[in-house]
Amino acid sequence: MEIRSLWMFVVCFVLVAGWMAGTCESIRWLSLQHSHLNWNVSSVNNNHGRGIRSGIRSPCTLARRRYGLVKIQAKLCRHSMETMPHIQKAAMLASDTCREIFRDRRWNCSSITTAPFLTPDLTRATREQAYVYAISSAALVYTLARACSSGNLHQCTCASKPINSPTDSFQWGGCGDNVRWASQFSKRFIDNVEKHNLLKIEKTKRAKDLNEENDVFKNEVAIVNLHNIKMGRKLITASVHNECKCHGVSGSCNIKTCWKALPPMIKIGKELLQKFTTAKVVSQKTVERLEQKTKKKAVLSDELVYISKSPDYCTKDEKLGSFGTMGRLCNVSSNSLDSCRQLCCGRGYKTVVEEKIERCQCKIYNCCYVKCKVCRTMTQVHECL
């Protein structure tokens, strides 16, 4: 992993140095899900200038080297290191949610865990990539908005009270999740990377460099990524709802205070799954129109979009980022996606008997002492051939 990410860093560095219109994907920060960096601002400041200024010991520099943060993100990290533990949490949340949602499918989102190294399923602008970009930006907004309202982030506060005055039945109060601040921050952390990519490609285009076909594709990928990132944010902004609390004499609910709150992330993940199933493939022409969205409004503004068709993910093909389903556990009694028929792609499965050793029949003695027996149980699992 270490060597791999170091290699990616070198590649990115060389690309940025201007050899060609290299792009550095804006989801590499998801690798922070594995990081053990210490984002303690005071420990860096106590470093007598050797920290932030020289960059030697700054966790932001380490994050850039090891975890694939791009230059813009490392800069933002230095300027607001307080947000970094939350960004790290967002990376975990995006990864956990995506893997939970896709658990029973052939493509099960496991490739999200290999960031900053990205397999082709997450670089070819596939439908799966669209989901990962959308859920990543949604998770970042979610985590930051919650951090604001829970008082864990001093750069922001509770959401400001909605303008529309409430009806007689309630009043605004409490502390709302600050989706607005979180969205602004996520634009700076994620969108700016893709925008920077677009500018870089524009520059090489003007310099009439070779490698044209490749640049055109990269340009399209950046536009599509940007669109899907925005979709994730749009969905989370739309999912804000009122949460209320009753006051008054012994639960009479005479007075009700309400605030704007986000639903659990898994719900947003499921809504995005709906968008995943209806995602639209876009042609070069449509991509161009996506880019000019500011002029012509609302091109596919409610859809996830992708460029490359995905394989069926049945067999291993590293070039396409397909891991294949050999060895995956399937469910013989299911009729849906995790059924052996569908998951194993008709290749069949083998039945393996597994012995489980568990503590069981536990009893409490003398109030505080628990004694258990050891049980052996046999379970059958089914593995795709």
Ligand X SMILES: *[C@@H]1O[C@H](CO)[C@@H](O)[C@H](O)[C@H]1NC(C)=O
CB nearer ligand X, residue 46 or residue 292 = 46
Please list, residue by residue across 323-349, b when 16 or more beta carbons sit within 10 angstroms of its beta carbon and e when fewer do: bbbeebebbeeeeeebbbebbbbeeeb
Q: What is the distance between the alpha carbons of residues 110 and 108, in angstroms, rounded to a whole number?
A: 5
**108 in contact with ligand X (CB under 6 A):** yes
Contact pattern from residue 33 through residue 62 relative to ligand X, giving x for each residue in contact according to CB under 6 A and a dash for the rest: -------x-xx--x----------------
**328 in contact with ligand X (CB under 6 A):** yes
Which of 142, 172, 185, 323 is close enough to bind ligand X by CB under 6 A?
323
**380 in contact with ligand X (CB under 6 A):** no
Q: Least CB distance from residue 323 to ligand X, whole Å? A: 4
Q: What is the distance between the alpha carbons of residues 71 and 69, in angstroms, rounded to a whole number?
A: 7
Which of 325, 342, 344, 345 is close enough to bind ligand X by CB under 6 A?
325
CB nearer ligand X, residue 135 or residue 226 = 135
CB nearer ligand X, residue 103 or residue 245 = 103
**What DSSP state is assigned to residue 221?**
H
Q: Least CB distance from residue 110 to ligand X, whole Å? A: 4
Q: Are 127 and 304 in contact (CB under 8 A)?
A: yes
CB nearer ligand X, residue 46 or residue 54 = 46
Nearest to 5 by CA among 116, 94, 96, 114: 116
Nearest to 38 by CA among 64, 60, 53: 60
Can you say whether the dihedral through the CA atoms of 101, 107, 110, 114 is positive or negative?
negative
- Cα angle 331, 134, 21 (rounded to 5 degrees) comes to 120
Q: What is the distance between the alpha carbons of residues 83 and 317, in angstroms, rounded to a whole number?
A: 38
Q: Least CB distance from residue 263 to ligand X, whole Å? A: 25
**315 in contact with ligand X (CB under 6 A):** no
The size of the interface with ligand X (CB under 6 A), counted in residues, is 13
Q: Least CB distance from residue 366 to ligand X, whole Å? A: 38
Which spans of this chain sit near ligand X (rule: CB under 6 A)? 40, 42-43, 46, 103, 108, 110, 323, 325, 328, 331, 333-334
